[in-house]
Structure 1
């Protein structure tokens, strides 16, 4: 058996690409700190970053901009990592967390949760009672993990592999999304504003609690990547080829899938 590798796959990446990406990653949050809706002089922002500044400037920078920046970066890192893992094991360059129904499961879970909270507090109200900041991220994460687990079990009953996983994920994701939209439509248009902020995905009103919620998932997910490097390389091939290199296909496929679902579910739960 021969394994051919295309010239595009064997071509080494450009040397300037990684430093450029690192530079952009460091520059983007710095620009976001200095520029925002509130028009602060650059000197005031610099003073806050060095430990000084007025109370108003400190509140804007430390309590509004920085939490949103950190939360957005952590969520972005998790979604990017989850997408990379899914693209690798499914051998599909277009795969994303919605493939495993994570986004749709989180949407359905949060929709049900908000509806129950509103109706249990005041059935005629259009506003949501104040909730602890960790509730929605937790509910969204659990919903996403539940959806991913359901799709995994459906796939496991037959033959665990990228094609069946993709088909089950697309079908179940569409069903979960339809259920969520049906609940929203039946709930009534006067109460849609309760859901729009979360369902649209936003960093609005994100605080340090959201960053703290995401940090363990980000750190653990990045720490696991070096440990699963070899399985990832082999999972790019067909199962028979991967097994011939000594890979325990079902175990390693499931482990990578679990990591990707956990990263995606926690990120979607935190930022929508």
Structure 2
């Protein structure tokens, strides 16, 4: 029965209770996202009024505006939207599974594993500029996503095994993840030290999380992954809600814990790996946006749709800042890190106060 706080949504034989507040937050966030996308498409060496950008997106505008907006700028903005949504969803899944606001892919080392795999391909393949277009299109579209996925999956499996103690120990999960992340960061640095100077320089720029010069070949794998893993995530919602009550209670409700954990692992790893392969590591996006969406929606767990929208808003906003606000070029990953690092410190201080209270 529908309530003031949730309304049923049915699709064939499946149904979900959709929280009204979360739906409203998602709709408002989508409006903010569209506004930021319009600004992102309007700024540049050839500025276009925002109104003309909107008309161009809906089929209007003159030929020059259509070329600039649709051909030159839209691919990069679309990559920012899809990457932000992927990282927001990955963070919501991992934080819900671990029942810990610190359990995001970048804190758990999954992002570092994906980065290690991608940098290994860049260095070994001898490409001298992933972002500069000197790496083959096949490597951009196929090789890097596969390498990033393998690196992220290997890290996640190792994290799972090392955190197992007659079940998945969530506190141990975070601690082991931090250690794995530090180890993989050191391994990536070793690759850079022993690489050719051209490869090391281009890989280091990529590691900063850059949206510059991104095209459809970078965004296509992210979009395909979202199309596959968003439905899987929606199917996992009921089991994740039951797991919030504890493992024993979830088993009593018929939840297959191992199968659910494996599904969340696959979804989070897939989403993180393709995002990292597309633009490099965008630090703290997966950490910050699920918690922001959680507080805006007043939910018991990070909401999936609102987290995706918030992730897209943050990444597109970072792109706008680097292109229109700052007087110098700066990778978007530095902007997201500047937002996320103080938030991480706040979370740690808040957790420490609760323990000592």
> What TM-score, normalized to structure 2?
0.63
Change (3 A) 1:21 1:128: closer
What's the counterpart of residue 208 of structure 1?
A: 216
Give yes or no for contact 2:119–2:203 (8 Å, CA) kept in 1: yes
In 2, the alpha carbon distance for the partners of 1:138 and 1:59 equals 32
What's the counterpart of residue 161 of structure 2?
A: 153
In 1, the alpha carbon distance for the partners of 2:46 and 2:103 equals 38
Instruction: Tell me the CA shift for residue 131 of structure 1.
Output: 1.7
What's the counterpart of residue 7 of structure 1?
A: none
What's the counterpart of residue 41 of structure 2?
A: 33
Map 1:1-272 → 2, pairs under 5 A: 13=21, 17-40=25-48, 45=53, 48-49=56-57, 50=59, 53-55=62-64, 57-118=65-126, 129-132=134-137, 133-134=140-141, 135-156=143-164, 159-187=167-195, 192-272=200-280
Give yes or no for contact 2:233–2:264 (8 Å, CA) kept in 1: no
In 2, the alpha carbon distance for the partners of 1:263 and 1:108 equals 16
- Structure 2: give runs of 5+ residues left out of the alignment: 1-19, 281-357
**Which sits farther off after the overlay, 219-228 or 14-23?**
14-23
In 1, the alpha carbon distance for the partners of 2:42 and 2:133 equals 33
In 2, the alpha carbon distance for the partners of 1:188 and 1:239 equals 50
Q: Secondary structure at the match of 2:124?
A: helix
**Which sits farther off after the overlay, 30-39 or 75-84?**
30-39
Instruction: Tell me the CA shift for residue 185 of structure 1.
Output: 2.9
Q: Deviations over 1:82-137 (max 9, x none)?
A: 1001111111113211234221112212222222222xx89xxxx99432131333
In 1, the alpha carbon distance for the partners of 2:260 and 2:51 equals 52
**Which sits farther off after the overlay, 73-82 or 207-216?**
207-216
Instruction: Tell me the CA shift for residue 267 of structure 1.
Output: 1.1
Give yes or no for contact 1:102–1:147 (8 Å, CA) kept in 2: yes
User: How large is the Cα RMSD of the aligned pairs?
Assistant: 2.9
In 1, the alpha carbon distance for the partners of 2:35 and 2:52 equals 19
Q: Deviations over 1:206-259 (max 9, x none)?
A: 111222211111122222232111111022232122222222222212211221
What's the counterpart of residue 323 of structure 2?
A: none
Change (3 A) 1:97 1:53: same
In 1, the alpha carbon distance for the partners of 2:236 and 2:272 equals 17
> What TM-score, normalized to structure 1?
0.81
In 1, the alpha carbon distance for the partners of 2:26 and 2:198 equals 48
Instruction: Tell me the CA shift for residue 51 of structure 1.
Output: 5.2
Instruction: Tell me the CA shift for residue 161 of structure 1.
Output: 3.4
In 2, the alpha carbon distance for the partners of 1:170 and 1:212 equals 31
Change (3 A) 1:190 1:34: closer
Q: Which runs of 4+ in 1 moved over 4 A?
A: 12-16, 41-48, 188-191
- Aligned pair count? 255
